[in-house]
Amino acid sequence: MKKPVVIALVVAVVVAVIGAGTAWYQSRQDQALTLYGNVDIRTVNMSFRVGGRLQALQVDEGDAIKAGQTLGELDRAPYENALMQAKANVSTAQAQYDLMMAGYRAEEIAQAAAAMRQAQAAYDYAQNFYQRQQGLWKSRTISANDLENARSSRDQAQASLKSAQDKLSQYRAGNRPQEIAQAKANLEQAQAQLAQSQLDLHDTTLVAPSDGTLLTRAVEPGSMLNAGSTVLTLSLTRPVWVRAYIDEKNLNQAQPGRELLLYTDGRPDKPYHGKIGFVSPTAEFTPKTVETPDLRTDLVYRLRIIVTDADDALRQGMPVTVRFPDGE
């Protein structure tokens, strides 16, 4: 065989191999599953848990926010006054409880004992006088009215003695358990109010819950705010997700944890990487944001794809093309 013929045959074989390989590669690319979705970034509407006059905001729209950063403050004066009042109430309740627990002083018990002895002496005198008057009445030396007066004086002295004895017993026994329990409950109530006042004062400072970018500054210093009124809106830096939809025919390819490639219009040759984090257990009609004609009227399942190498170029709502790398 002549040499030019051999060369021609080799070239033909090489061209055929290249063509076959290209066709095979193109067929593999055509088989790869492609989905379309949008970037989904969570936002937080931040507000004060208490109301008051907004004193200051330390951030503005577009600022990068770090977790724990102070963002704004309310006027603290009303809450500082409430805290002082709560502390005074706790001191008063504590003193009352301590007084109930300590009972009566020794001096008060001694005074009650002296009052009882005095009442005892007055009763003894009234009783002896009444007995003498009874003897005189029998001999008709005094009138019935004098005897009745003596009996009345004796009864009054006896009542005074009984009152003095009861008071001395009360002082010696101390306060009743119910009174002590009531004083303890008042103390606990005052302590709870103090804790709430401390929390209210702490809540006059607005702190960032996590890293992110400030989207909206809704109010300005000097505004009167109700508790829960939105002051700032924060876009969270992490996590960044892509929301996409897949039909039932290809649902078996959407396994949680599977790695995917994510393309944006701004960098079509440099994909982001992600993995499937959630597959909806229920089907729904394709939302209007999905632009593929063959899916517009189908029932699909929602996917949440976690972007593992997200950066600031991914913005809320940005369209993303999702590709399954190996087409399996």
Query: What pLDDT, on the 0 to 100 scale, is given for residue 29?
Result: 45
Torsion of CA 211, 213, 217, 222, to 10 degrees: 40
Please tell me the distance from the alpha carbon of residue 258 to that of residue 306, in angstroms, as a whole number. Answer: 10
Long-range (24+ apart) CB contacts under 8 A made by 75-80 are: 75/204, 76/201, 76/204, 78/52, 79/50, 79/52, 79/197, 79/200, 79/201, 79/204, 80/201
152 in the same domain as 182? yes
- Do 160 and 300 fall into the same domain? no
User: Per the domain annotation, does 16 fall within a domain?
Assistant: no
On whether residue 136 sits in a domain, the answer given is: yes
Measure the CA–CA gap between 119 and 235, rounded to whole angstroms. Answer: 83
- Residue 117 resides in a domain: yes
DSSP string, 182-205: HHHHHHHHHHHHHHHHHHHHHTTE
Residue 12 inside a domain? The answer is no
The SS3 of residue 239 is: strand
Handedness of CA 129, 130, 133, 138 (dihedral sign): negative
- Domain assignment present for residue 89? The answer is yes
pLDDT means over runs of 10, the chain (328 residues): 59 62 49 83 92 95 92 96 97 91 72 83 86 80 82 88 79 76 93 97 95 91 94 88 88 88 88 89 69 61 89 84 75
Residue 76 has what pLDDT?
Answer: 96
Q: What is the CATH number of the domain that holds 287?
A: 2.40.30.170
Compute the distance between CA of residue 150 and CA of residue 143 in angstroms, rounded to an integer: 11
Q: How far is C-alpha 22 from the chain's CA centre?
A: 60
**CA angle (208 as vertex; 203, 209 as ends), nearest 5:** 95
- What pLDDT sits at residue 326? 65
> Number of structural domains, the chain?
3
DSSP class of residue 268 equals: E
User: Helix 77-102 vs helix 177-202: angle between axes, to the nearest 10 degrees?
Assistant: 160
Q: Are residues 193 and 86 in the same domain?
A: yes
How far is the C-alpha of 243 from the C-alpha of 290, rounded, in Å? 10
Query: Do 141 and 189 sit in the same domain of this protein?
Result: yes
Sequence-distant (6+) residues with CB within 8 A of 119 are: 157, 160, 161, 163, 164, 165
pLDDT value at position 328? 46
Are residue 230 and residue 244 in the same domain, yes or no? no
Q: Are residues 244 and 315 in the same domain?
A: yes
Q: Nearest-5° angle of CA 20, CA 24, CA 27?
A: 140
94 with 152, same domain: the answer is: yes
User: Which of the listed residues 144, 173, 199 is the one where a domain comes to its end?
Assistant: 199
Q: Are residues 191 and 105 in the same domain?
A: yes
Is the preceding peptide bond at 256 cis, omega within 30 degrees of 0?
A: no
Query: Is beta strand 70-74 parallel, antiparallel or unpaired with respect to 284-285?
Result: unpaired
Within this chain, do residues 184 and 230 fall inside the same structural domain, yes or no? no
CA distance 195 to 189: 10
Query: Which residue range is the domain that position 316 belongs to?
Result: 31-41+239-323
**Residues 309, 213 share a domain:** no
Tell me, what's the pLDDT at 204? 97
In a domain, 25, yes or no: no
Residue spans of alpha helices (H) in the chain = 3-31, 77-102, 106-138, 144-173, 177-202
8 found inside a domain: no
Whether 200 contacts 31, CB under 8 Å:
no
pTM given for the model: 0.62
Q: Which residues contact 272 (CB under 8 A, 6 or more apart)?
A: 261, 262, 263, 264, 307, 308, 309, 310, 314
Of 102, 99, 110, which is closest to residue 168 (Cα–Cα)? 110
Q: Which two tokens stand for residue 228?
A: 């829960």
User: 294 and 278 in one domain?
Assistant: yes
